[in-house]
Chain A
Amino acid sequence: MSQSVLYRTLLFVVLAAAAVVFLVPTFVRPAPALWPWHQPVRLGLDLQGGTHLLYGVDIERAIDSTIDRHAQDLERELHDAQIGAVTAEREGRTIRVRLANKDKRQEVLDLVKERFPTLAPMPSEDVEADLSLTLDPRDAQRIRDNVVEQALKIIRNRIDQFGVAEPTVQAQGSDEIVVQLPGIQDPQRAKELIGKTALLEFKLLATGPQAGTPEHPGPGVQVVYGKGDAGGRRAYLVERRTLMTGDMLTDATVRPGTATEGMAVDFTLDARGGKLFGEISSANVGRNLAIVLDNYVESAPTIREPITGGRGQITGRFDFAEAQDLANVLRNGALPAPLKLIEERTVGPSLGQDSIRKGVLSFVVGSALVVVFMLVYYRGGGLIADAALFLNVLFLVGAFAAFGATLSLPGIAGIVLTIGMAVDANVLILERIREELRLGKTPRAAIETGYERAWYAIRDSNVTTLFSGLILFQFGTGPVRGFAVTLIIGIFTSLLTGVFGTRVVYDLLVSRRRLTTVSV
């Protein structure tokens, strides 16, 4: 018994210490240099001011255009393979291949199987009919997954250039992207930046002594960041001169590579581009050509041989998805699917400040009312409940800091509300203890029974509140989610402090002396 009390006391001491560690950076700025935690509680846009943009990604359009492209490629390939007169067109989600010579049917199927593994022929009894091909559902799904991923990546790159402190760009649901720009009041420029067509440039990697270092790039050399080897960021030294831009590129496709070569991306240039690229590649064999999208190096393949004739190939150590991305970048040089701005919210800085002030004020007044009430009504028991309430808030806000959850105005309201509801457990227990005392039980027995009997009601009522919190979380976005998160964390901290925490105090009281009265 005494040992259990000791352990439980220690648990709360440790938790409280941890909460303090997590919270210091929020209230002491700057936090002491050696302090183990540096992340203050993140404030939502409604509290710090800024712009929230919600974009819808038109994924189905992206799938349509992928199928369109496959149809074009297929038609070209069939033409190159000299399989008579053929047309391939997209009709809805299928590609209809019309053959002049039905005998070539099998040849076409073989070619599709070899070169277009993601296209599957639709079963048909009629050998005389046109051939219908559909996109493999797994590939359609991959496009769905990829499109948002890629749009996110591009938007992130662009926002990075915008120079906002701690921007948030993340997917929401299956086809939406949220962009949050703290401190930005006039979102016009940000919106233009996000919506614009990407700039695709080809530049040579700088070599030799003139290149300099990333800290001191040589003359005519600039530092451009890009994808590193292990998924990290890496600084590339590239020549400032843009050799060619993406508008000369007409197409790019993934070619499933051989075992030795890995994946390859084929690209086609228009006449002018073909000529230009021929000159560039002839003059720079052995050097690396950086493919720069929106000032971000996507890839920097080595030029192995002069590329004339307007067609080239990029090989590298990338997997299929990466190759697909690269092809996408080359082909579109732009967002993989049209974006539509569906929501725009701007909060001025004065409102954010005002909201924090009012939120804190309601918190102080609300909790003071509850604390005083508990003290007056339950005296000793109220004091213990109030101490638990203090720990509760400490843990709750500490959890926000520790998990990096975002505190919004409804979140603050949730904390205030948690205080009002947390004492419910204490009231249930104390009322029960009172009842048991009235029945003539000793304080010790009354406390024991009080906790035991009250527990069922406390558990059931908190489970239902938890349900509503979870549903709220599922339903809501942004600030509403913040409220739900507060409510959910609050249930756990309330149970921890209000039920288990206060019990430790009573156990201590009971074990220390012979209790003849208990103040409840």
Chain B
Amino acid sequence: MLCITACGRLQIGKRVGAEFGILSLQEELPLNRSLVTTNPPKELEVLFENVPLLGSERREEYDAFFSAIASAEPPSNAVDWMLLKDLVDLGWEIRRERRIKVEIVKLNQTEVICDLLKSTFNKAHRLRSDLNRIFGARTEAQLWASDAETRMSIDARLKEKGHNQDSVLARAYLRGAGEIDAIDKRIARYELRRNEILKQIALRNERKAQRLAKASSDIIDGEFTEAPV
């Protein structure tokens, strides 16, 4: 289906892509090529010409995301297009915030590992200076984050000292609690607003709102499904 890989790339299964009339992003695409097959009317281009994306986000991904939701219930008039755009933008922002949250936890995990490596430094290597110990721990922590083999060996070492993966994760959450809380609050507000838009759509057309609610939830929540490598 639709999912984000570990590196944050959007992938759409070929079957679903074909169903929605969307190309799979795994295929090679020239930059700036629009994937929206459910094209908005030309008169509404003011809403679609400048999508608020970050430097790391691609327009193609946004368009694919838009098409996937729009295909569930294509808009029939200008107000519907406007509400749909809002629904999609909020879904996009929810996804962005979740991605940032994951990155914050990862960063804090690395910091926790670094601290633990410093504190559980093997006393047998007393010949090393304190400076070496600090920089060595930093390098090892970075390797822990990027290399699976090093990660396993460091995990084993830390386990001997009584620190398992769960306790590392708990410490990472504690360390980033403030930021994580702020992100959770923002996500909650986007969700509230998203529900409010669905209510507005339901006032205009009940069935349309139900289909859009299902499509957008499936797509937003689908992001954390690991893509098959």
A and B interact physically? no
